[in-house]
Amino acid sequence: MSFVRGAWKLLVGIKDAMVLLAMLLFFGVLYATLSMSPNAGGVKEGALLLDLSGSIVEQPAETDPVTLIAGGSGIREYRLSDVIRALDKAAGDGRVKAVALDLDIFLGGGQVALGDVADAIDRVKKAGKPVLAYATGYSDDSYRLAAHASEVWLNPMGTVLVAGPGGQNLYYKDMLDKIGVTANIYRVGTYKSAVEPYSRTDMSPEAREASQALVSALWEQWLDDVRKARPKAAGIADYAARPAEALAATQGDMAQAALRAGLVDKLGDRTDFGKRMAELVGVEDDTVPGSFNATLYDDWIAAHPAPTTGKIGIATVAGFIIDGEGGGGTAGGATISTIIRTALKEKDLSALVVRIDTPGGSTLASEEIRRALLDAKAAGLPVVVSMGNTAASGGYWIATAADRIYAEPSTITGSIGVFGIVPSFEGLTQKIGVNADGVKTTPLSGEPDVFRGPSDTANQVLQLGVENSYRRFITLVANARKLPVGRVDQIAQGRPWDGGTARQLGLVDAFGSLDEAVAEAARRAKLDPAKVETVHLDREKTFFEMLMSGVTASEAPPAAARDAFTRAALKPEWLLRHAIADAETMLSSSAIQARCLECPIEAAPQRAKKDGLLALLASWLS
């Protein structure tokens, strides 16, 4: 009995220790959150300091509390609508004399999102307020914004590294063959290359054709925008095409090469930049060189929160489309459809705008969201779709429910095709000496057989299911766009299109930003577009999730990412992480999917770590 009593005391002690540790962690997070919360009263006369140390996204991903407490880290994501609202409020606020655009650790955001931010920068300048940009090194995305600034500053040891869209994809067939895994693929669409990494060792001619056409169109649109925004940079295409010659002319001085090409206005370090800002908005602290009066972005956003009521509801479909529930940055079919239907019951809406930024995903989840939009239309609400950076495959499936579709020339859309993939491990089981056998009552008993490979009957059933989904897809498009099914089949085949071409093909109705889509929804609801108010429809966060968001809001990329060459060197690592996450999503999601592989990666992946005792405690807390 003494042994039992001792064991019981030990277990009670362990339990008490775990509870105590959990409480310490909870109150530690609470203290950190409260100490780092934005200060709505921190607005001061001077500059708005827009320090974009991370990436701009349509909808920030929710940080898993398990990941956070277990030691994972995430790169900060800025909501596009918040950044635009911050700039627009600055344009009309007399306390803001200028905007300091700090792009030192900016990681990008996609051409459509950047175009919307650039337009907001132009509105600040039009209001008579200078916008000054600074970075140690500019890449394509950061320079796209900087080109719209009144003055572009570059560190004397920095560079403007313009690479243009394009890059590598990873192909896994040889690796799968070596470990004995078979990717059983079912597809429709000549250009449906989302499964090629699992079936080939390189890009197919059809996929290469589609990808090359897409990146070429995006590149021309990028160049056109930069040249219009900054006439001094008219020779940027030559600078990008012959970087070695540009550097040779300045004996390898990259900053001087950028200055000579008209890409930047001033060379100086952060102190020099601060002194220039102080000339415009005043010195904050005489004892600190380069100090200037400024309001921080988080304080500015806290002082100008997004509206919580409005007649036009904006529903966001961002990230991979998955079955079931999904947090911010992931388009869970059940989550989004519930948000829409709840808004129909609880909010006094007159119209609905759907902002789509997704490469697609589960056809089942896409249909679930489309059905919710049809419910909104049945309730008498006009439904207008606004396409962001990407609205492809499953994203376009959802868009077929709209009364009108808006896109931008740089939007990637289309990719109308369907595929299925089922892994089987017959080669692996043979390698390790494992055999499988059994009995059947029907041809589909135990199918798909992942140990011996799917049977011919299972393969036929799965292929027919994919073909049926494709027919349904192109029929939805044909009915929505008032096109013959045969014509849709010609322009579908899984091929992605840039927004300009998509408009010519009849896949979108007009060019326009989210604001134009809102105005159209207002007109259809017989409201004044100039006076209409909007409200973003999001899932309500729990108290613990709000605590977590307060902590993660302070996270930023490593300081080494300031150098443009360092950021370029990080891309292979990002690609590998995206490939792992992509494979996990593809193999764990719906068997039949509509996704776009050619759609470019817009931001660095989030780091995560979800194991260990702390992860267990965080899971218990959440």
Distance from C-alpha of 332 to C-alpha of 352, rounded to nearest angstrom:
19
How far is the C-alpha of 399 from the C-alpha of 508, rounded, in Å?
A: 9
Mean pLDDT of 250-270: 95
**229 CB-side CA count, 13 A:** 30
Mean pLDDT of 523-550: 77
Question: Tokens representing 411?
Answer: 């939007």
Specify whether the CB–CB gap between 73 and 54 falls below 8 A.
Answer: no
Q: Which residue has the higher pLDDT, 455 or 193?
A: 455
- Cα–Cα distance for residue pair 144/229, rounded to 1 Å: 9
Q: What is the DSSP letter of 560?
A: G
Biggest CA–CA distance in the chain, Å, is 88
Average pLDDT over residues 232-250: 92
Asked whether the predicted pLDDT for residue 609 surpasses 50, the reply is no
Q: Which of 41-55, 309-323, 582-596 shows the lowest mean pLDDT across its residues?
A: 582-596
What average pLDDT does this structure show over 211-222?
A: 92
* Percentage, residues of the chain above pLDDT 70: 79
Residue range 109-162, pLDDT digits in tens: 989 999 999 999 999 999 999 999 999 999 999 999 999 999 999 999 999 999
Cβ pair 418, 470 in contact under 8 A: yes
Q: Which residues, in sequence order, are bridge partners of residue 225?
A: none
- Residue 152 contacts residue 263 (beta carbons within 8 Å): yes
Which pLDDT value is given to residue 431? 85
pLDDT on residue 306: 87
Rounded to 5 degrees, what angle do the CA atoms 268, 274, 280 make?
115
Q: Before 382, cis peptide (omega within 30)?
A: no
Locate 257 and state its tokens. 């090469």
Question: Which residue in 356, 142, 402 sits closest to 263, CA to CA?
Answer: 142
360 phi and psi angles, rounded to 5 deg: 110, -165
Q: What is the pLDDT of residue 620?
A: 41
Answer whether 46-167+202-303 and 312-419+495-595 agree in fold.
Answer: yes
More confident site: 39 or 107: 107
Quote the CA–CA distance of 154 and 161 in Å, as a whole number.
Answer: 12
Q: How far is CA 473 from the centre of its chain?
A: 24
Look-up of token digits 């900053």:
255
Per the annotation, the verdict on 531 as an active-site residue is no
Question: pLDDT value at position 474?
Answer: 95
- pLDDT confidence band for 607 (50 / 70 / 90): very low
Q: Where are the domains of the chain?
A: 46-167+202-303, 312-419+495-595
What is residue 43's three-state secondary structure?
coil
Q: Which of 537, 214, 595 lies closest to 397 in space, CA to CA?
A: 595
Q: Could you say which of 3.40.190.10, 3.90.226.10, 3.40.366.10, 3.40.50.10680 is the CATH number of the domain covering 46-167+202-303?
A: 3.90.226.10
Catalytic residue among 142, 350, 386, 393: 393
Query: Alpha-carbon distance 219 to 410, whole Å?
Result: 9
Q: What is the pTM of this model?
A: 0.85
Instruction: Report the percentage of the chain scoring pLDDT > 90.
Output: 54
In the predicted structure, residue 220 carries a pLDDT above the cut 90 = yes
With cut-offs at 50, 70 and 90, classify the pLDDT of residue 614: very low
What is the rounded CA–CA span in Å between residue 344 and residue 503? Answer: 31
Assign 95 a pLDDT band (cuts: 50, 70, 90).
very high
| Tokens, residue 106 | 């900016």
Work out the mean pLDDT of the chain and round it to a whole number. 84
Q: What is the pLDDT of residue 388?
A: 95
d(CA 154, CA 104): 10
Classified by CATH at the fold level, domain 312-419+495-595 comes out as 2-enoyl-CoA Hydratase; Chain A, domain 1 (3.90.226)
β-pair type (412-414, 496-498): antiparallel
Q: What is the pLDDT of residues 458-501, one digit of tens each?
A: 889 988 988 999 999 999 999 999 999 999 999 998 889 999 99
Mean pLDDT of 358-374: 94
**192 catalytic per annotation:** yes
> Does the pLDDT at position 8 exceed 80?
no
Question: 591: pLDDT confidence band, cut at 50, 70 and 90?
Answer: low
- Sort 321 into a burial class: Cβ within 10 Å, 0-12 / 13-18 / 19+: buried
Nearest to 123 by CA among 99, 154, 95, 151: 99
Confidence of residue 29 (pLDDT cuts 50, 70, 90): low
Instruction: Report whether pLDDT(3) > 60.
Output: no
| Amino acid 616: pLDDT | 41
> Which one of 97, 129, 192, 311 is the catalytic residue?
192
For residue 1, which amino acid is it?
A: M
Look at 47-56, 364-373, 428-437 and tell me which has the smallest mean pLDDT. 428-437
